[in-house]
Amino acid sequence: MARKQLQNLTEPMYYILLNLIKPIHGYGIMKNIKEMTEGRVKVGAGTLYSLLSRFEKEDIVMKVSTEESKKIYELTDKGRDLLRQEHIRLKQLVADGNLMLGDDKNE
């Protein structure tokens, strides 16, 4: 299972996979992450393509096409499962923090 290969995702990993729910090219991923996080998370081209290569080797993402020399990637079923599991893990971290800090709001 994917969780054993990648126990916890880094923020850049999480946001890259989040953007790959639908087919997208590398520049689009970087742009979306910057906008989505209001510049808090920055993913450079070197990091992005290194992670995409790793994810592709681990069958987490796949190249679905090439348009105007831009490679278009998308999550595999394994990648979707990994992203869902990480999302659940992160929600649990927030719930635990809310409990311990006395903040019962779902933020």
Q: Enumerate the domain spans of the chain.
A: 2-101
Give the global pTM.
0.85
Per-residue model confidence (pLDDT) at position 3: 42
The answer to whether the CB of 76 falls within 8 A of the CB of 41 is no
Using N-to-C axis directions, what is the helix angle for 11-19 and 26-36, rounded to 10°? 120
Instruction: List, for residues 62-106, the tens digit of each pLDDT value.
Output: 999 888 889 999 999 999 999 999 999 999 999 999 999 987 665
pLDDT digits (tens, 9 = 90+) for 14-47: 999 999 999 999 999 999 999 999 999 999 999 9
CATH 1.10.10.10 matches 2-101? yes
